[in-house]
Amino acid sequence: MDLTYTESEQAFREECRAWLEAHVPRTPLASHNTREGFAQHVAWEHELFDAGWAVVSWPKRFGGREATLIEWLIFEEEYYRAGAPARVTQNGIFLLGPTLFECGSEEQLERILRPMARADFLWAQAWSEPNSGSDLASVRSTARRVEGGWRLSGNKTWCSRGSFSDGIYGLFRTDPDSQRHRGLTYFMIHLDQPGITLRGVDDLDGEEAFAEVFLDDVFVPDADVIGEVNQGWRVAMATTSSERGLSLRSPGRFQATADRLLTLYAERGRPERLRDRVLQSWMDAEAYSLYTYQTVTRMREGGHIGADSSLNKIFWSEMDIATHETAMALLGESAWLAPDAPDATEGWLHDFLFSLAGPIYAGTNEIQRNIVAQRVLELPR
Amino acid sequence: MDLTYTESEQAFREECRAWLEAHVPRTPLASHNTREGFAQHVAWEHELFDAGWAVVSWPKRFGGREATLIEWLIFEEEYYRAGAPARVTQNGIFLLGPTLFECGSEEQLERILRPMARADFLWAQAWSEPNSGSDLASVRSTARRVEGGWRLSGNKTWCSRGSFSDGIYGLFRTDPDSQRHRGLTYFMIHLDQPGITLRGVDDLDGEEAFAEVFLDDVFVPDADVIGEVNQGWRVAMATTSSERGLSLRSPGRFQATADRLLTLYAERGRPERLRDRVLQSWMDAEAYSLYTYQTVTRMREGGHIGADSSLNKIFWSEMDIATHETAMALLGESAWLAPDAPDATEGWLHDFLFSLAGPIYAGTNEIQRNIVAQRVLELPR
Amino acid sequence: MRAAFTEDQLTLAEAVRTALQAECNAEALRRAWTETHDFWPLLAEQGVLALSAPESLGGMGMGALDWVNVAVEAGKVALPAPLGEHLAIVELLAEAGHGELVEAMTTGEARVSAAFAGDAEKTYAVNHGRGEAVVVLGPAQATLVRQPVYTTQATADQSLQLASVDGDGESLDGDAARAFDRAVLANAAQLLGVAETILDLAVEYAKARRQFGKPIGSFQAVQHHLVDALLKRRFAAPVVHRAAHSLDTDDPRRSVHVSMAKIYAAEAAELACRKSLQVHGAIGYTFEYDLHLYMKRAWALSAAWGSVAWHRDRVAATVLGDSHG
Amino acid sequence: MRAAFTEDQLTLAEAVRTALQAECNAEALRRAWTETHDFWPLLAEQGVLALSAPESLGGMGMGALDWVNVAVEAGKVALPAPLGEHLAIVELLAEAGHGELVEAMTTGEARVSAAFAGDAEKTYAVNHGRGEAVVVLGPAQATLVRQPVYTTQATADQSLQLASVDGDGESLDGDAARAFDRAVLANAAQLLGVAETILDLAVEYAKARRQFGKPIGSFQAVQHHLVDALLKRRFAAPVVHRAAHSLDTDDPRRSVHVSMAKIYAAEAAELACRKSLQVHGAIGYTFEYDLHLYMKRAWALSAAWGSVAWHRDRVAATVLGDSHG
């Protein structure tokens, strides 16, 4: 157990920090859930990629710098500490990217990864259907075999920032006689194809954070199938245990939030009545970081995250809400002022609302608890 | 809405208080889960009954004083405020008694109620079987028709203070072909009958708080069947909505505990770090009392408690644990000293351990939440 | 002892419910974002504005037990109007000799809101920021600002206009502490109402939405979430009702009881938000579904008139005899 | 950065586990109520008593990272002996020039326990109350009581003998603060261990016990109870490990990290008790079933060496710069 950083890790941190200090925009960008803000974020991603910071843990040939997982955690800590912009590439680089590394062909890696990482081509996930949320396997959208590819029809929803994206990825039923997990195939779909209709869906903030995508006989070439036909479920699941995946939510974000909370607490005169809640948030962010360093060490030494990622998700999502609730309590009535109100305080309201989505997206916490019960504790179904 | 007491209610309170002040034993009795302590408690019950305080809300002919439900709440408040002994008759007067009022014959009422109320004949409940705890309907014990009565065989467990009791009551399967709730009959069984073997079971305190009862062809006369044969489930359920039942746990006990907690907090120098927990316990005891007064008012005006009793049980059992946990925290290391240790502090350890049983007995809180979901919120099964 | 409302009280609340449910649905709330959708004339017409005013000034002289369920109904529909504030201050203004103003208020001609004078630097008045006066009200003092300078402050709850208030005030010669407690009670009652709506939406959704081949409301985790929210809501109600009783009877512990009402109602509403959103899942997180209209109101009400932590300090000061915070 | 134990560290803990699981099962704990079932010779034989003593005094000179998992194993079996106290104080005694005593302690000939000098009037030493000395240890001072006068104090945890300590003490000239932090860490590690046993019992029971025609472990409510307990236990472990690291590296925030270890481990153990008992139902509430042996140990450990609230104050004083409590 050595919780101190090596010299090279320390050097990596300093390099990150110096670059971020020099380049992170001084004024916060507009929200990435708006068209204007999204464009600003895309420009930032270009800058990040061109300097080699977009995908630090990826191979150099795809724009990475082959950083270790520990270095990736360091990068994330510095990134959030610097208050750098939200990552509009995240559903590409943390979800589709890892899937391709696990199951993609060499041709796909070559063609897709760099544009994904540079935000030249933006990807949105398309897991849910109107009647398939928690029950991910109840996919109804279909794909029909045609010459050189497939014709896709159906309806996908809750595609984050789908309105501003170039492509989506998700599962379609390729075997019409199949049930549930079987007979599904993993497709990547370009949103400029004929047959696609998109409807923007606003979130609690009133911003177009989601899109619903309607597919009517949309052509997808064979080259955009990941893994084997009818093996889409296995492909999707392979991602969840990938060490590069979003399943390993980096602690940097939560530590930066906890630090902001401490500052807010001091600014508000350290109200005794909220002390224990502030303290708990700070300690939980530490605990989450320590837990993650242990997980990452295990993975570096050949282990897998597996169903543990569900424990992670429960922890960070509930911690994140508690932290933001405490911030709102510190702010009092002014917490609820809209961003354009004269007395508005920066950021907390938006972040509070976003934190509420944590126990819902990427598998509700109820589903995560089921997974932990059945796979970690090995309780019967 | 009139939350002040009428003159007659006030007079009733003063009468209770005066009698209790004059009669409650100055030194606490030994634990009622020991043979010695049980005997002391029985003597107390005699005194209580003879003065007309054992069953205040019952008809006069059974030893009550026909008090209103509000008066019953007042009696309970005064009883616990006075620190009077635990009621060893409770499984009789609050469970079997109400069942007899609802479903018993006139002969049964005449024969059973007074000895029950005076603690001349002590009753223990026998709902559970080794494989039938939460799943109350999975009764395996059987009753076989014989001349003039029934022969009972099987195994009942968790009979509180069964080792010191004279009789038990519970459900037996009288229709051998029946499933679950059907074909059960409600019996009262004298424990001095041939064929009965009793095994004491110690609780967390190491006291013989429970008994397991083995029945081998035990004779029970027809006179000791309550309600109709094969309708035992209905008889048992009728009790749960009885206004005289334990389902309406009186607030007096919790308010007395909260008052003791406030005293303890002050004695320990008002440690800031435990303030909010102490406050919450006190407020919750108030809230529970207010809720109960509304329930009782509704029942006096013809309403039924029904599945609301499950909400009650969840609330008081969780409040009770929190209150005792806070007391233990106030006491620190000395909280865990055994009653006979030189530095022991009175009562809290025993009461803490007992509080932990609250979410388990009389239907676990998981079962209670299911009942509320299905019967109050009308969610599907 | 009779812990239930009178027939008259229930009938009044029922009448207001009928009127509000008809007029102030989710559609109306959405309209209120952009248009001035004004519910004040409706309230005047229903006699609601006159409830707590003295009979000598054209009011109905009713007490807190009479109007508390009216405030609950206002909460249920997330009424975008400072009804609670109005009910709280008319009596104080009458005591302080502002009879004419009170008369105009009961008919809806004059609009006076109230703002909490707490620890924060600024005070915010809910809605009709354009009203002719604002009472700035704390637990021990009240001032009347006659020509307030408003700065409109948009909030997350778009149907609720907030304004920070500046301007000279005159001290009001009346029972400010009582008026403050009334304002807190009205706030708690609205929280109770909005918690119910938020929970009802979740229960209905859980019955209709199917996953894994059955309604999600049949899953134990979903059932227990909703039961937990129900439990909080149910046990908060009598605490709110008792506070109304203590106001009407001038109970020596009135302020403790009122603060408890706020604590229980706010916690019930906040838990209802959490559980309802979780049971809804993604749909509850959208702008087009109605849940957020009520959640945002719950949050706004919870933050107004003293936070839960603020009121906990107030209860502790009396009950535990300490002076924390 | 490598957030994992070394092979040597894991091998040591594994060896201790094997020895303890063989000797200190539930049966042995029950025997310890009445007979003097003494585990000290076993610990001496296994070399455990020598772990943290300096090599110059016949010890192994090991650090907290080396012995922290040994303490976890002691917790798992609810070892009825003050091993944590022993591990915490040998280095302090060596520093203070009590070399001979330390040598005798590492072989098990001398028995010295330690007691927390907290806010309470009395100090209690765990087990071998008959030991020849007691170190009374607080966050900033340590005294050695050479001929302690013991008053035996039975506790709920019958296998753990407690004694209040009186007698004159001599101030120990060594790093008391560090020794105190070691004692707290050892306490936290044992809590982590006992939490695991308590949770394991529940998981096994949930698989075996059937109700409504299926194992209770298949019910979502039961599953989620157990997952909540697992979550707390899992996230407490790295916090305890980090505290050991900070002790060994003399991290400037060592005391914060140690207090966090206590907070997380105690809360994990307490939640494990609640959930495990609830999942067991009535059987868990009996004296004949083993669960209570471990629950009572968890409660006793949680109350020892500063409560969660006490340690929270200590963390807040540093992290939030306030001086509450």
| Residue B372, domain CATH | 1.20.140.10
Helical packing angle, A308-331 and A348-357, nearest 10°: 150
Closest partner residue to C303 (CB to CB) among A158, A273, A336 is A336
Q: Nearest CA to CA, how far is D320 from chain A (Å)? A: 7
- Interfacial D residues in 200-239 facing C (CB < 8 Å): 219-221, 224
Catalytic-residue membership of B243: yes
Lowest mean pLDDT among A335-349, B63-77, C256-270, D283-297: A335-349
Q: Nearest CA to CA, how far is A334 from chain C (Å)? A: 9
Does B117 map to a domain?
no
HEC string for chain A = CECCCCHHHHHHHHHHHHHHHHHCCCCCCCCCCCHHHHHHHHHHHHHHHHCCCCCCCCCHHHCCCCCCHHHHHHHHHHHHHCCCCCCCCHHHHHHHHHHHHHHCCHHHHHHHHHHHHCCCCCEEECCEECCECCCCCCCCCEEEEECCEEEEEEEEEEEECHHHCCEEEEEEECCCCCCCCCCEEEEEEECCCCCEEEEEECECCCCCCEEEEEEEEEEEEHHHEECCCCEHHHHHHHHHCCCCCCCCCCCHHHHHHHHHHHHHHHHCCCCHHHHHHHHHHHHHHHHHHHHHHHHHHHHHCCCCCCCHHHHHHHHHHHHHHHHHHHHHHHHHHHHHECCCCCCCCCCHHHHHHHHHHCCCCCCCHHHHHHHHHHHHCCCCC
Q: How many CB pairs under 8 A join B and D?
A: 118
Q: What pLDDT does residue B301 have?
A: 92
Backbone phi, psi, residue C301, to 5°:
-65, -40
3-state helix, strand, coil in chain D (%, to 5): 60, 10, 30
Q: What pLDDT does residue B362 have?
A: 86
Lowest mean pLDDT among B86-95, B299-308, C315-324, D266-275: C315-324
Identify the three-state secondary structure at position D320. Answer: coil
Q: Nearest CA to CA, how far is C201 from chain B (Å)? A: 12
Residues of B in contact with C234 (CB under 8 A): 291, 311
Does B116 map to a domain?
no
Q: Nearest CA to CA, how far is D220 from chain C (Å)? A: 6
Indicate if A269 and A371 belong to the same structural domain.
yes
Identify the three-state secondary structure at position C124. Answer: strand
Residue C130 contacts B, CB cutoff 8 Å = no
Q: What pLDDT does residue A29 have?
A: 95
Largest CA distance in chain A: 70
Tell me the mean pLDDT in the region C103-131. Answer: 86
* Spatial separation of the C-alpha atoms in residues D223 and A371, rounded to whole Å: 10
Last residue of a domain, one of A168, A200, A232: A232
Residue C266 contacts A, CB cutoff 8 Å = no
Residues making up chain B, counted from first to last:
381
Q: How many structural domains compose chain B? A: 3
If pLDDT is split at 50, 70 and 90, which confidence band does C159 have? confident
> What pLDDT digit, counting tens, does each position of A100-145 carry?
999 999 999 999 999 999 999 999 999 999 988 888 889 999 999 9
Tell me the mean pLDDT in the region C211-237. Answer: 97
Residue C120 contacts A, CB cutoff 8 Å = yes
Identify the three-state secondary structure at position B334. Answer: helix
Angle (CA) B172 B173 B174, round 5°: 105
Task: Give which of B306, B209, B257 is closest to B76, Cα–Cα.
Answer: B257
Amino acid at B74: I
Residue A264 contacts C, CB cutoff 8 Å = no
- The verdict on a CB contact (< 8 Å) between D230 and A314 is no
Indicate if A132 and A165 belong to the same structural domain.
yes
Indicate if B285 and B216 belong to the same structural domain.
no
Checking if the pLDDT of A244 tops 90, the result is no
- The verdict on a CB contact (< 8 Å) between D309 and B271 is yes
Q: Nearest CA to CA, how far is D240 from chain C (Å)? A: 31
Q: Which of C85, C211, C295, C296 is the best residue to mutate to test the A interface, defined by the most A CB atoms within 10 Å of its own CB?
A: C211
Residues of C in contact with D221 (CB under 8 A): 220-221, 224
Look up the CATH number of the domain holding residue B203. Answer: 2.40.110.10
D271 token code pair: 């939640």
- The verdict on a CB contact (< 8 Å) between C230 and B286 is no
Domain extent, residue B68, equals: 7-88
* Spatial separation of the C-alpha atoms in residues D73 and D68, rounded to whole Å: 9
Residue C3 contacts A, CB cutoff 8 Å = no
* Spatial separation of the C-alpha atoms in residues C90 and C87, rounded to whole Å: 6
Domain ranges of chain C: 178-319
Last residue of a domain, one of A206, A232, A258: A232
Tell me the mean pLDDT in the region D60-64. Answer: 96
Q: Nearest CA to CA, how far is B26 from chain C (Å)? A: 28
* Spatial separation of the C-alpha atoms in residues D182 and D244, rounded to whole Å: 8
Q: Nearest CA to CA, how far is D216 from chain A (Å)? A: 9
Task: For chain D, list the contacting chains (3+ Cβ pairs, <8 Å).
Answer: A, B, C
Share above pLDDT 70 across residues of chain C, in percent, rounded to a whole number: 97
Q: Nearest CA to CA, how far is B42 from chain D (Å)? A: 24
- The verdict on a CB contact (< 8 Å) between C221 and D220 is yes
If pLDDT is split at 50, 70 and 90, which confidence band does D128 have? low
Share above pLDDT 90 across residues of chain D, in percent, rounded to a whole number: 86
Checking if the pLDDT of C175 tops 50, the result is yes
Closest partner residue to D120 (CB to CB) among B134, B328, B332 is B332
Checking if the pLDDT of A365 tops 50, the result is yes
- The verdict on a CB contact (< 8 Å) between D224 and C219 is no
If pLDDT is split at 50, 70 and 90, which confidence band does C123 have? confident
Closest partner residue to B379 (CB to CB) among C207, C249, C316 is C207
Look up the CATH number of the domain holding residue B33. Answer: 1.10.540.10
Residues of A in contact with C113 (CB under 8 A): none
- The verdict on a CB contact (< 8 Å) between D300 and B336 is yes
Residues of D in contact with C221 (CB under 8 A): 220-221, 224
Residue D126 contacts B, CB cutoff 8 Å = no
Q: What pLDDT does residue B35 have?
A: 94
Closest partner residue to C313 (CB to CB) among A203, A273, A369 is A273
Last residue of a domain, one of B88, B110, B142: B88
- The verdict on a CB contact (< 8 Å) between B366 and D221 is yes
> Which CATH fold would you assign to the domain D178-319?
Butyryl-CoA Dehydrogenase, subunit A; domain 3 (1.20.140)
Does A51 map to a domain?
yes
Residues of C in contact with A359 (CB under 8 A): 278
* Spatial separation of the C-alpha atoms in residues D40 and D201, rounded to whole Å: 27
Checking if the pLDDT of C129 tops 70, the result is no
Q: What pLDDT does residue A346 have?
A: 79
The ipTM, to two decimals, is: 0.96
Task: For chain C, list the contacting chains (3+ Cβ pairs, <8 Å).
Answer: A, B, D
Tell me the mean pLDDT in the region C255-275. Answer: 98
The ranges of chain B with pLDDT < 50 are none
Checking if the pLDDT of D37 tops 80, the result is no
- The verdict on a CB contact (< 8 Å) between D224 and C221 is yes
A35 token code pair: 């068209």
Does A111 map to a domain?
no
Strand partners, B134: none
pTM for the whole structure: 0.96
Q: What pLDDT does residue D325 have?
A: 38
- The verdict on a CB contact (< 8 Å) between D236 and A287 is yes
* Spatial separation of the C-alpha atoms in residues C88 and C318, rounded to whole Å: 23
- Interfacial D residues in 272-311 facing B (CB < 8 Å): 274, 277-278, 281-282, 285-288, 292, 296, 299-300, 303-304, 307-310
- The verdict on a CB contact (< 8 Å) between A294 and D241 is yes
Query: Given strand D149-153, what is the order of strands in its sheet?
Result: D149-153, D162-166, D124-126, D112-116, D133-137, D142-145, D169-171
Closest partner residue to C1 (CB to CB) among B2, B270, B380 is B2
| Contacts (Cβ under 8 Å, ≥6 apart) of B352 | B324, B325, B327, B328, B335
* Spatial separation of the C-alpha atoms in residues B50 and B43, rounded to whole Å: 11
Closest partner residue to B360 (CB to CB) among D151, D278, D292 is D278
- Interfacial B residues in 193-212 facing D (CB < 8 Å): 201-206, 210
Share above pLDDT 70 across residues of chain D, in percent, rounded to a whole number: 98
Checking if the pLDDT of C233 tops 50, the result is yes
Residue B343 contacts D, CB cutoff 8 Å = yes
Tell me the mean pLDDT in the region C100-118. Answer: 94
Indicate if A315 and A282 belong to the same structural domain.
yes
Residues of D in contact with B314 (CB under 8 A): none
- The verdict on a CB contact (< 8 Å) between D288 and B202 is yes
Residues of D in contact with A5 (CB under 8 A): 1
Q: Nearest CA to CA, how far is C215 from chain B (Å)? A: 7
Residues of C in contact with A332 (CB under 8 A): 118, 120, 303, 307
Residues of A acting as catalytic residues: 243
- The verdict on a CB contact (< 8 Å) between D278 and B365 is yes
* Spatial separation of the C-alpha atoms in residues C76 and A124, rounded to whole Å: 38
The answer to whether C90 and C59 are in contact (CB under 8 A) is yes
Residue A80: C-alpha distances to residues A75, A256, A260, A317, A346 (Å): 9, 6, 11, 17, 16
CA atoms within 13 A on the CB side of A243: 21
User: B243, B272, B325, B378: which one is catalytic?
Assistant: B243
Q: Which of D200, D227, D233 is the best residue to mutate to test the A interface, defined by the most A CB atoms within 10 Å of its own CB?
A: D227
> What pLDDT digit, counting tens, does each position of D178-217 carry?
999 999 999 999 999 999 999 999 999 999 999 999 999 9
Indicate if B134 and B222 belong to the same structural domain.
yes
